[in-house]
Amino acid sequence: MKNNLVNNKPMKMLKKQILVILFFVPLIFSCSEDDDNVIDELPAKTQTGEQTLGFSIDGENFISSGTGNSGPRGFYQEVSNKNFLHIVSEFEKNNEWTSISIYGADISALEETDYKIGERVDTKIWGGITINFGDTDAYFTTDEITGTLIITKFDKENHILSGEFEFDAVNEDGSQIKVKNGRFDLNYIAETTTVSNNL
């Protein structure tokens, strides 16, 4: 009798393990499908100046296109041997306004390469998100809470600026958000203008 009880323990453990696997496998595939759907709905990763910008936060997509103040905008100026980069757009969803900004002042000449998005100081590139302008909640990258900007096309002749980005950002209360799947394809403005580093 004792031998039967001992022999049954491994079988019971095996059954439990199988049940656990059967429970979690559908959840894993469901999450993967959700991620795929989020990416599929975002603008394509083009490099032809289509005037598009998109990214996701917690599975929610933010998409902007067209020209004017409501569309995505890119700026790259070379002023007095200093280089300024600003990628910005606003979005309205559920009666809330959200703004994204990727900014760099006095940075090295822009190239088609990867850049760290980090501390909010001159000579570095940083990112920010402002949620609900009426009751502002602002999130920024820091030296430790960072991300990546990839410039995939920088065409000075045709003023095309294309790339991808992802970054984490934190607000004054220490809450963090994750900006994922970011991509942009812009006709950037190159004339000498004053660019503010405020969202």
Average pLDDT over residues 88-92: 91
Beta-carbon count within 10 A of 101 CB: 20
With bands split at pLDDT 50, 70 and 90, how would you rate the model's confidence at 29? very low
**pTM to 2 decimal places:** 0.76
Extents of the domains making up the chain: 1-41, 46-187
Structure tokens at 30: 């469901």
Both tokens assigned to 68: 């004017």
Burial call 126-154: b when 16+ CB within 10 Å, e when fewer: bbbbbbeeeeebbbbbeeebbbbbebbeb
For residue 120, pLDDT over 50 is answered with yes
Placement of tokens 């990867």 in the chain: 114
Helix (H, G, I), strand (E, B) or coil at 6: helix
Tokens of 154: 């920088």
Which of 35-39, 101-105, 123-127, 159-163 has the lowest average pLDDT? 35-39
Amino acid at the residue 138: A
Burial tier of 185 (Cβ tally within 10 Å: 0-12, 13-18, 19+): buried
For residue 85, the surrounding DSSP H or E stretch is strand 82-93
Average pLDDT (160-187) is: 96
What is the structure's pLDDT at 180?
A: 97
* Average pLDDT of span 7-36: 50
